[in-house]
Amino acid sequence: MLTRKHSIEGKHPFGKAAELFNTLDADAAMKLAMVAGDVTLVLDETGTILDAAFDPREFPDFVDIVGSNWIETVTIESRPKIMEMLAAARRGEVQHWRQVNHPSRDGDVPIRYAVLSVNGGEHRIAFGRDLRDAGRLQQRLLQVQQSLERDYLRMRQLEARYRMLFERSTEPVMIVEVGTLRIREANPAAHALVGARPASLAGKKLLTFIDKSSLDAIQSLVGAAMVSDTVSPGRIRVARGQREVMASVTGFTQDRGQFLLLRLVPATDRPAGDFSPVLALVDQMPDGFVVADSNLEIVTANAAFVEMLQAASVDQLRGRHLSESIGRPGIDLDLIEGQIDQHGAARNIATVLRVGHDIEGEPVELSAVRTSGEDGYYAFVVRPVGRRMRDLPPGVQDMPRSVEQLTDLVGRMSLKDIVRESTDLIERLCIEAALSYTSDNRASAAEILGLSRQSLYSKLHRYGLGNLAGDGE
């Protein structure tokens, strides 16, 4: 907003004005007038534009402005301002800057003017300054401010949701500083677990609430959490009531500080089934066993499956989708789900187990069942068969022996592989038919098939169709 500071009123005047400007010639006066404004208009007492100085590249619509009345070159809402400036100039009053808008083909052009009387009141000079750059800067500033306000509102909403989840969680949770092991935040469940008054844990040291026998264990968990993303929960004892809990620790960095997310699950809250001998035997079985939720995300697995995927612990696998490790993406698991929906179980499905970025994978057999209900769980038994397949004769382990077996490969192999298997199947069937027609006379069979004897022997060996030593002629 323009105020009096934009005018000459109240400013310290030149001390030697008469000496400096008394001999000012017309050329110097013209240059001063042109420098004083982006647009300089010379007006008569009626407001008619007698002359103008401007940059035609910046103001192309001002080319024909000379001869027009100033009031006719501005928008309707700006005309009262023009009338006020001209009236004040006739009265000899000190002028203040006023913004007016000139219509143009590209929109209104905002210019602020100040009018001075010259030549004894015979003429007026209107000095104008282009406000478009300032307007664009203000627009950018407004956009940045609106963007910051939106981000701030979004952060407030995220913080509110986080706070609600944190406060209402039934699982005891603490945020702990790594350097001092002071509790930064704790939810109501954590206060209840350690027997503290509500909102009293912030700022207190974590170790004061841990039994002395568990101090080494909690220190080990803290150290492991700062160097690894996968730390198995540890059993510790709370000082109040000597209550045992399972502590899960995760490290993170925020605002250049290191913190711990500490979750404390009372050990007595663990289902009694965790100590079942069945689960103990499943964990020791040589075949992989994995349980997944309705979204096929891993819930738990036995030691054999963890070893198959070369993971550090089962905690590293929890939450991972099975498609990352089992089968070809979008093929095998969909077929397995379909079989379970149709038959209630899937038995001895041939697929692959992929580790890391391995595309080919290791051949395995997979069987699976699912519990009832919309959110049922899946149980998979995964058995490696790579060694068994390597022990089979070359070319026999994967070769279908009929058209029905060939069509069963749809969905389990790519079309390119199926076509290759089809070619091998047709070739083998033709060789078997030729041998049958010639009563196993291989020389005649080779002649019928249009093959050399060496080529026929090579194919017989490939398909395992006979001993080369027993050639019939």
Single out the residue in 238, 269, 300 at which a domain terminates. 269
pLDDT digit string (tens) for 284-312? Answer: 888 999 999 888 888 889 989 988 888 87
Task: Tell me: do 416 and 385 sit in the same domain.
Answer: no
**What is the Cα–Cα distance from 411 to 328, expressed in whole angstroms?**
10
pTM of the model: 0.38
Q: Chain-wide mean pLDDT for the chain?
A: 81
Q: Is residue 94 situated within a structural domain?
A: yes
DSSP states along 275-309: G-HHHHHHHH-SSEEEEE-TT-BEEEE-HHHHHHT
Give the pLDDT band of residue 183 (cuts 50, 70, 90): very high
Task: Tell me: do 20 and 101 sit in the same domain.
Answer: yes
Give the pLDDT band of residue 470 (cuts 50, 70, 90): very low
Task: Tell me: do 235 and 283 sit in the same domain.
Answer: no
Task: Tell me: do 181 and 210 sit in the same domain.
Answer: yes
Q: What is the pLDDT of residue 80?
A: 92
Task: Tell me: do 310 and 375 sit in the same domain.
Answer: yes
pLDDT digit string (tens) for 330-386? Answer: 567 777 888 888 888 888 888 888 887 666 778 888 889 988 877 788 999 999 886
Task: Tell me: do 260 and 281 sit in the same domain.
Answer: no
Higher-pLDDT residue of 329 and 152 is 152
Q: Is residue 453 situated within a structural domain?
A: yes
pLDDT digit string (tens) for 41-58? Answer: 999 888 899 999 888 888
Q: Is residue 395 situated within a structural domain?
A: no
Single out the residue in 249, 269, 289 at which a domain terminates. 269
Task: Tell me: do 180 and 230 sit in the same domain.
Answer: yes
Q: Is residue 58 situated within a structural domain?
A: yes
Q: What is the pLDDT of residue 289?
A: 93
Task: Tell me: do 8 and 120 sit in the same domain.
Answer: yes
Q: What is the pLDDT of residue 386?
A: 65
Q: What is the pLDDT of residue 375?
A: 76
Q: CATH number for the domain including 414?
A: 1.10.10.60
Q: What is the pLDDT of residue 19?
A: 66
Q: State the average pLDDT over residues 79-90.
A: 89
Give the pLDDT band of residue 146 (cuts 50, 70, 90): very high
Q: What is the pLDDT of residue 401?
A: 53
Give the pLDDT band of residue 76 (cuts 50, 70, 90): very high
Single out the residue in 355, 390, 425 at which a domain terminates. 390
Task: Supply 465's token pair.
Answer: 């169709």
Residue with tokens 């000012």: 24
Task: Tell me: do 363 and 303 sit in the same domain.
Answer: yes
Contact 331, 412 (CB under 8 A): yes
Task: Tell me: do 383 and 421 sit in the same domain.
Answer: no
Q: Is residue 160 situated within a structural domain?
A: no
Give pairs for 318-324: CB < 8 Å, separation 24+. 321/295, 321/296, 321/297, 322/290, 322/292, 322/296, 322/297, 322/298, 322/380, 323/296, 324/354
Q: CA 214: distance to chain centroid?
A: 39
User: Which residue range forms the structural domain that includes residue 256?
Assistant: 169-269
Q: What is the chain's percent helix, strand, coil content, to nearest 5?
A: 45, 25, 35
End-to-end CA distance of the chain: 111
Q: Is residue 118 situated within a structural domain?
A: yes
Q: CATH number for the domain including 99?
A: 3.30.450.20
How many distinct structural domains can be found in the chain? 4
Q: What is the pLDDT of residue 469?
A: 43
Q: Is residue 153 situated within a structural domain?
A: no
- For 63-155, where are the E strands, in sequence order? 98-102, 109-118, 123-130
Residue 136 pLDDT exceeds 60:
yes
Task: Supply 78's token pair.
Answer: 């700006």
Task: Tell me: do 324 and 215 sit in the same domain.
Answer: no
Lowest mean pLDDT among 26-40, 122-136, 306-320, 459-473: 459-473
Question: Which H or E run contains 383?
Answer: strand 378-384
Task: Supply 70's token pair.
Answer: 């100033």
Q: Is residue 14 situated within a structural domain?
A: yes
Using a pLDDT cut of 90, give the percent of the chain over it. Answer: 16
Task: Tell me: do 15 and 123 sit in the same domain.
Answer: yes
